Chain A
């Protein structure tokens, strides 16, 4: 769908290589999703107006306010206490008048879980506050000053490879500026799964988008996988998975940010 929307369709996915959770049923609100480039207007003597060139990007999100939930693996408290003070990969999906699905926008960032603190209260319930880093986690080596991408597979279970020419995203045109994949695997019933992206010039013949793969995952986890900054990404994109070693079902989200 396209158009305007309301916050009940927002979803928050985050984790690291050993955690992958959908916190949407705990989160009350998320602060601004911001992309801001360095560049203060100045003027040489002869210029008619002050101007600038844009330099480094600062990409930030949060804070996250959420209802305390504890005692169950994968819940807010368990996840946040495990991840606090560490790098995380995160995606805030904006569903357009429906739960986020294929084609909906998602804000993807590499950051740190800077704090997980409480106790406050909302509606009589104990709430917690999580703040995120003021920039990308340096160990992630982010190559892109971009954050807005597109969901290729909304968070849902899948048990078979994607051979469809309908469950795809049409980017309108090919590009030669790389990009990065965001994945969040929230459950797997054994064995391992590899999540990846394929691209196509004609929505008929798809091949693997080189570098856009999670590698074999044996448990829940989230991550960002970057392509080279001059990599060609063809017009059509679709999600893909490969189940192995007895795995039959995986629940996951895949998104892609074009460079």
Chain B
């Protein structure tokens, strides 16, 4: 199929992140918060100004996800969804930048040309997994991702991160 345009529903959204070996994996999610950049706003207002004014400073990007706790073996993207625990338990706390790619399929499985947000990792660019919490009673997890110090910013695009 070719890339589609228009509106969509969440079932076509994929959350992909590197595992501890640096291989990109799709993991199951049920919520994603913070997709995009949020810029610090600095108040520039002086007494004499008629109206409050601001300037934007550095952006921040913290992505929080939740989903089902899952121990399924790692699978190649396209072949299946890897277990959340399988991937997240190996990357939490690491200081090696991770590729992260959130793909929003437009009424079908995502393909190049449709929106995605993320970054392809290098030695100096990418995300870190800051926390990983399991709720053993609900059978769910939550995890938080922040940027590696000095990384370039992730961005919206239409081509897969690698």
Contacts and interface: CB of A to CB of B under 8 A. Distances in A.
Contact of A41 (B57, B135, B146): B146
- Of the four ranges (under 10, 10 to 19, 20 to 34, 35 or more), the interface on chain A belongs to 35 or more
23 contacts: A2-B72, A2-B73, A5-B69, A5-B139, A7-B139, A32-B133, A33-B133, A34-B131, A35-B131, A37-B93, A41-B60, A41-B146, A43-B58, A47-B58, A49-B58, A49-B154, A50-B59, A50-B60, A53-B148, A94-B69, A94-B136, A105-B85, A145-B93
Given A2-B83, A7-B139, A37-B92, A52 B128 contact: yes
Max count, chain A CB within 10 A of own CB: residue among B69, B93, B139: B93
B93 A35 contact: yes
Interface string B135-162: 1111100000011111111100000000
Interface in A23-40: 29-37, 39
Nearest to A38: B130
Shortest 4 CB-CB contacts between residues of A and residues of B: A49-B153, A51-B147, A36-B131, A43-B58
Interface of B: 37, 57-62, 68-73, 83, 85, 89, 92-95, 128, 130-139, 146-154
A3 B58 contact: no
Nearest to B152: A48
Contacts of A114: none
A92 B136 contact: yes
Contacts of B89: 105, 148
A54 interface: yes
Contacts of A94: 69, 71, 134, 136
Contact of A36 (B58, B85, B94, B130): B130
Contacts, number: 122
B135 A49 contact: no
Given A32-B135, A39-B130, A41-B62, A51 B93 contact: no
Interface of A: 2-7, 10, 29-37, 39, 41-44, 47-54, 57, 92, 94, 96, 104-105, 107, 145-146, 148
B70 A3 contact: yes
A3 B58 CA distance: 40
A7 B85 contact: no
Contacts of B92: 35, 37
A43 B150 CA distance: 7
Contact of A6 (B139, B149, B153): B139
A5 B83 CA distance: 12
Given A36-B130, A52-B146, A29 B137 contact: yes
Contacts of B152: 48-49
Contacts of A52: 128, 130, 146-149
Contacts of B62: 41
Nearest to B68: A4
Nearest to B132: A35
A50 B69 contact: no
A32 B136 CA distance: 7
Contact of A10 (B59, B136, B153): B136
Contact of B71 (A2, A29, A41, A42): A2
B32 to A, nearest CB: 18
Contacts of B147: 41, 49-52
